A and B are shown apart, each in its own frame.
Chain A
Amino acid sequence: MSLSAKEKVIVKDFFEKVSTRSDEIGAEALARLIVVYPQTKSYFAHWKDLSPKGAPVRKHGITVMGGVYEAVSKIDDLAGGLLTLSELHAFMLRVDPVNFKILSHCILVVLSMLFAEEFTPQIHVAVDKFLALLALALSEKYR
């Protein structure tokens, strides 16, 4: 499953359109991740404050969303463009790749919540594919 030229445009246009709220999207998605999938908190045991509305979760959500936007800018070569991030996740963070899928789902829920009119089924499928390919690129260096 790869992105068609049309889908790349859809993804770039949509993320451009919602970019002014990217911090909010990231913070909300990560908050949902740890509330809806509490097992993901295991990766953040070193944080003093794991409350979904707390500062560490918000800050990290913003970081993660920054990564998503970086991937949008490298949409024509995700594997190549995300090499460093893949190495980070593979060798240092060692996040089980199953979690990429559930974070993607949380991002989709937040996009639907905040942009109900704009997040049509056609945009949904393009963004879902993009996030799946992003996850694949992040898993590139795992083994």
Chain B
Amino acid sequence: MVEWTDEERAAISDIFSKLDYDEVGQKCLSRCLIVYPWTQRYFGAFGNLYNAEAIMNNPLIAKHGTTVLRGLERALNNMDDIKNTYAELSVLHSEKLHVDPDNFKLLSDCLTIVIAAKMGTTFTPEYQASFQKFLSVVVSALGKQYH
């Protein structure tokens, strides 16, 4: 069971309250595909990913970014049992999507960087620590059902 301090819960809630899921989702996913181009392997059906401009203007990528952020919101709303909340999602990523779980960390690093850009200096070291702890629990839960 993951223990969360009151400060950590407050920080994570505060960060999410400032996010426009459409904006942040699109920025996060497109950044991941540009910075770590091998992650494009999972998006063969998404149309033009030929260069950075194409990726940043791709509507299917933008839509999927929103989907990812909505998924993270489920973890936010179930912080005391992310593992079970994500059991089905983990099976989906493993058995249907065949995503290498190392990629979850790459996407979460991009999300941290996009949020840092959005929040500027209000993204304090303590906020960063709380948010990265949240993301590492999410990443671990997503990898749980792989075998």
Contacts and interface: CB of A to CB of B under 8 A. Distances in A.
B129 A35 contact: yes
Interface in A96-143: 105, 108-110, 112-114, 116, 119, 121-122, 124-125, 128
A108 B115 CA distance: 12
B25 to A, nearest CB: 14
Interface string B29-69: 01100110000000000000000100010000000000000
B145 interface: no
B132 to A, nearest CB: 6
Given A113-B117, A113-B121, A116-B120, A36 B129 contact: yes
Interface string B121-132: 101011011001
B85 interface: no
A56 interface: no
B113 interface: yes
Contacts of B119: 113
B125 A112 contact: no
B118 interface: yes
A121 B125 contact: no
Contacts of A108: 109, 113
Given A121-B30, A121-B56, A52 B125 contact: yes
Interface string B104-147: 00000100111011111101011011001000000000000000
B117 A35 contact: no
Contacts of A35: 125-126, 128-129
A113 B120 contact: yes
A23 to B, nearest CB: 15
A58 interface: no
Given A36-B132, A113-B121, A116-B120, A122 B52 contact: yes
A132 B130 CA distance: 25
Interface of B: 30-31, 34-35, 52, 56, 109, 112-114, 116-121, 123, 125-126, 128-129, 132
16 contacts: A35-B129, A36-B128, A36-B129, A105-B109, A109-B128, A112-B116, A113-B116, A113-B121, A116-B117, A116-B120, A119-B117, A121-B30, A121-B52, A124-B31, A125-B35, A128-B35
Interface of A: 31-32, 35-36, 52, 105, 108-110, 112-114, 116, 119, 121-122, 124-125, 128
